Structure 1
């Protein structure tokens, strides 16, 4: 049995009524990458490339990208979720999001070849996958839109500002903190010293080297002329950092004010939308946006 045959053995051809999945092997810089293509019986001409962020592989945290891909297919959108080089079941050395331009381009080519009715693509990314989409996808002509969840913009300054404004404020308002303090389970001196260090960093002017990845993200957002969906969680430090960064950066403020940009805040959600209700809300938001901005004609 060949490698691809063995992979097919682990997939249900029909995972839901009218939805099929199959593994997809493709090359990038001499390495073999693995993805999973989810297709509806009748697909529109716009597909979704699911880019995976952080130390995750194509399934995502709590299989969120499996669920998302099947939800998209049930609504008429084909999708491909895949492993970067060095991650999951793909070959090569591991790399971070700054070095994934070739992986994204290769995945788009493989997607187009495997689903020829799909002619336009939306890049979907969570955390540093959203950062990668902005950095590497804005110049690709086949990219018709971007859906960006809790984009990663971390620096020492953004982290400190988010911690001072949100983490420490929430901790002081938490009765459990005061109970532990009164019981001697929290060392007040250590907590105060940690807060003072974070406050000192937060009050320093941010230093942004030329060519910094955050600058490249903003440049990508400004250059990209298609529709963009930005979804921010309310209970997520990464999202709070993004808000803090935007508040101090004119390029980002200008980018987010463009008519093509839709911003949605899901206040109760955490970073990965780990509860079913949060995922369902995200799916509704994404599908409403896709239907309104990206859906084209269906394949015959």
Structure 2
């Protein structure tokens, strides 16, 4: 069997509020393409080159992809900003992609951590996206962080042989850890009564901050009517915070999200799926979901 030559990646100039940036577009034959949104202080290859490796995997399936730099990172001008500003820039990225690649009929947005959150905070982008792939979305707030620390982190430590070895060798501080546990336990109880009001608040996108964004995120997610893949790493605090937030939502709001969201767990994976076997698991989750939701 003759191997077909792989197309060369194309450089795509992108303007974000007048700042110059670059995207890398890899062309497959499918009419579906994946737009990758970096999270945190990451450049377009992604953490541990995850997005670059994902682009190569997708190309093997003839699925196109675009990855890019936000201002302040990689080859982009400007100063680094937070994911609230990134959410606003996404409209320009999608518009540029659609204009440059008119043969693509369906753009699916992929985001890790606060890149996933940025996607959910932009209603215009959501109206244009054919689907979403959310990997360990950033959903931290005081109440769910404290509850997750109690339910997940400290329980995980108690089940860890490393913790008990350190304790027996005198290399840990059990009283300090116990004090921290009770601080989180009290915080979870104190903030629990405020949770329902915050979750049911109307989305006010004009007043978003990195501390006050979850009502808008949940509102937009519950209103989104197209397919969503939620991939949660099994060994990641951020993923557990997202799962905790969703589990504690009012029943009607959770049902709206569940109606269009497929949730998958990546067993043993960390936040960025940096281990090769976990990245492979993520890749096949994405491919199976894409084939199911966007059959060629």
Alignment equivalent of 2:140, drawn from 154, 159, 175: 154
Alignment equivalent of 1:86, drawn from 69, 72, 85: 72
- The equivalent of 2:276 in structure 1 is 276
Instruction: Say if 2:232 and 2:264, in contact at 8 Å, map to a contact too.
Output: yes
Alignment equivalent of 1:100, drawn from 86, 111, 116: 86
Task: Give distance in 2, aligned partners of 1:26 and 1:124.
Answer: 18
Task: Give distance in 2, aligned partners of 1:138 and 1:30.
Answer: 20
Q: What SS does structure 1 have at the residue aligned with 2:148? A: helix
Q: Which moved more, 1:45-54 or 1:103-112?
A: 103-112
Unpaired stretches in structure 1, ≥5 consecutive residues? 1-15
Shift of 1:56: 0.8
Alignment partner of 1:113 is 2:99: yes
Task: Give distance in 1, aligned partners of 2:62 and 2:94.
Answer: 18
- The equivalent of 2:11 in structure 1 is 23
Instruction: Say if 1:157 and 1:202, in contact at 8 Å, map to a contact too.
Output: yes
Task: Give distance in 1, aligned partners of 2:87 and 2:167.
Answer: 49
- The equivalent of 1:130 in structure 2 is 116
- The equivalent of 1:10 in structure 2 is none
Q: Deviations over 1:228-262 (max 9, x none)?
A: 1111111000011111111222265223321x221
Task: Give distance in 2, aligned partners of 1:156 and 1:241.
Answer: 10
Shift of 1:265: 1.1
Alignment equivalent of 1:163, drawn from 149, 153, 175: 149
TM-score (norm 2): 0.87
- The equivalent of 1:12 in structure 2 is none
- Alpha-carbon distance change, 46 to 192 in structure 1, aligned in 2, over 3 angstroms: same
- Once the two structures are superposed, the pairs formed by residues 1-300 of structure 1 within 5 Å of their partners are 17-40=5-28, 43-137=29-123, 140-206=126-192, 207=194, 210=201, 211=204, 212-250=212-250, 252-258=253-259, 260-296=260-296
Task: Give distance in 1, aligned partners of 2:162 and 2:17.
Answer: 53
Q: What SS does structure 2 have at the residue aligned with 1:87? A: coil
Q: How many residues align?
A: 278
Q: Deviations over 1:103-128 (max 9, x none)?
A: 21121122223222112210100111
Q: Which moved more, 1:54-63 or 1:171-180?
A: 171-180
TM-score (norm 1): 0.86
Shift of 1:164: 1.2
Task: Give distance in 2, aligned partners of 1:155 and 1:190.
Answer: 23
Shift of 1:139: 5.2
Unpaired stretches in structure 2, ≥5 consecutive residues? 205-211
RMSD: 1.9
Shift of 1:137: 4.9
- Alpha-carbon distance change, 186 to 102 in structure 1, aligned in 2, over 3 angstroms: closer
Q: What SS does structure 2 have at the residue aligned with 1:95? A: coil
Q: Which moved more, 1:27-36 or 1:85-94?
A: 85-94
